[in-house]
Amino acid sequence: MNTSNEKILFTSESVTEGHPDKICDQISDAILDACLEQDPFSRVACECLITTNKLIIAGEITTQAQVNYEAIARKVICDIGYDSEEKFFDGKNCEVEVLIHTQSPDIAMGVDTWGAGDQGIMFGYASNETQSFLPMPIDLAHKLAFQLSKVRKSWLLSFLRPDGKTQVSVEYENWKAKRIATIVVSTQHSKDITQEELHQAIKKEVIAPIVGDLMDEQTLIHINPTGSFYVGGPVGDCGLTGRKIIVDSYGGMGRHGGGAFSGKDPTKVDRSAAYIARYLAKNIVASGLCEKCELQISYAIGVKQPVSLFLEDFWTAKVEKKLILEAIQRRFDLSPQWIIDFLQLRKPIYKTTASYGHFGKQELSREQLGSLDLFRKLYQ
């Protein structure tokens, strides 16, 4: 670790539930939930594309469930807030095309024997710099994005529309978070609001409640930097499932293997292995064994056990890294079936994590601190 007092800036972004890519993630995961609710062993790989007045639902689904994909999608869109032409998209009247077929028998052959549903590399990360054990930039970016939607849906700021983005730059000294350097908030809005009124409202009702204590006189704030964000949602940008993987994970502070989460049932290690990697990294850090931790797990399709484990402690571990890896291998099976059972991943729990991050929400099984004693014993 660099022991100098060099100051650096690190930036992460988040988006609201009304961002076009997040609309697609939520539809994909809502369809997954509907399948799992009736058939916990559903095989689902669901992708969406949304653009002007058009939604395409595609992918591979093998299930005993009876699911109306179109009805689910329309409800998700309307619940987000796209329910009238005045908001440039109406979930009740948009065109929906469904292109779903069953899972490939070649993939099913590997999953049927409880092997991994695909090859891949997955990462889990945790840091002790926030109560959520997430890096501060992504933690605050998510909170700001959620606050944007909260004040919109409560009608506190009735001129806001569903689409929005946030960005937070944190100043670190020797990798210790010191202050917020810059905040960016871009939010869709109605025509009947001036930019001056918008700026004042966002500062008061969105920024101040979330990060007021962390700003100083030098903190820069950019709100709708282009001057207007009237046209938004799927009319402003085409959306796709799985295009916000850095927002979904650690905001770039931790590495990402490249596989998206949303729309995939837990036999897909892109999802389940990333979740167990987060569980392990968080428990390692919360136990006091490391200040920050990153765990990589890799799989081969059809093979039960990982082909490799790698741990990065960023020079903060109290014991040798090999001892931590040995403890993980002794206690945790890490086969896809074991992960699914351990984290209870066959439940319809996925839509709630399709926006504002897949990690850091304390009620989730992957966020529980159930293995602290195992890791504390390594150094106590």
Residue 112: predicted pLDDT: 67
**286 alpha carbon, distance to own chain's centre:** 21
Residue 103: predicted pLDDT: 75
Residue 365: predicted pLDDT: 94
Supply the mean pLDDT for the chain: 94
CATH of region 7-15+136-232: 3.30.300.10
Q: Is the pLDDT of residue 247 over 60?
A: yes
Q: What's the fold here for domain 20-110?
A: GMP Synthetase; Chain A, domain 3 (3.30.300)
Domain ranges of the chain: 7-15+136-232, 20-110, 120-128+251-376
pTM: 0.94
What is d(CA 281, CA 10) in angstroms, rounded to the nearest whole number?
Answer: 21
Asked if residue 48 lies in contact with residue 194, where contact means CB atoms within 8 angstroms, the answer is no
179 φ/ψ angles, rounded to the nearest 5 degrees: -165, 165
Residue 1: predicted pLDDT: 47
Q: In the structure encoding, which two tokens stand for residue 264, read together? A: 């995939």
| Burial status of residue 67 (CB atoms within 10 A of its CB: 0-12, 13-18, 19 or more) | buried
Residue 115: predicted pLDDT: 75
The pLDDT tens digits for 43-64 are: 999 999 999 999 999 999 999 9
Q: What share of the chain is helix, strand, coil (3-state, %, to 5)?
A: 35, 25, 40
Same fold, 7-15+136-232 and 120-128+251-376: yes
CATH of region 120-128+251-376: 3.30.300.10
Q: In the structure encoding, which two tokens stand for residue 8, read together? A: 């650096």
The pLDDT tens digits for 277-332 are: 999 999 999 999 999 999 999 999 889 999 999 999 999 999 999 999 999 999 99
